């Protein structure tokens, strides 16, 4: 079954465009394939982060100042 593709206009910085063109030529892959893979990786990382935030939502919060004071009290700094 063929995947329906959507066309989008994306403006890429010249240096990034050159890099992706070179990668495309070097790997015999299309720029679209490389961009799609990069988007999948970025979105998967976001999903992992959101899951981790949800899992840790009930953990107590501690301020930076409190944490430093605890490290000092424990002789770590």
CA distance 57 to 22: 43
CA distance 34 to 21: 10
Q: Is the pTM higher than 0.75?
A: no
Going from N- to C-terminal start, the domains of the chain cover 14-57
Q: What is the pLDDT of residues 18-73, one digit of tens each?
A: 999 999 999 999 999 999 999 999 999 999 999 999 999 999 999 999 999 999 99
Token couple for 37: 């893979």
């Amino acid at each position: 079954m063929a995947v329906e593709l959507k066309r989008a206009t994306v403006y890429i910085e010249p240096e990034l465009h050159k890099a992706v063109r070179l990668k495309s030529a070097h790997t015999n892959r299309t720029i679209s394939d490389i961009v799609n893979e990069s988007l999948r990786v970025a979105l998967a990382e976001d999903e992992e982060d959101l899951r981790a935030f949800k899992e840790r939502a009930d953990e107590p919060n501690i301020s930076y100042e409190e944490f430093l004071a605890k490290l000092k009290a424990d002789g770590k700094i």
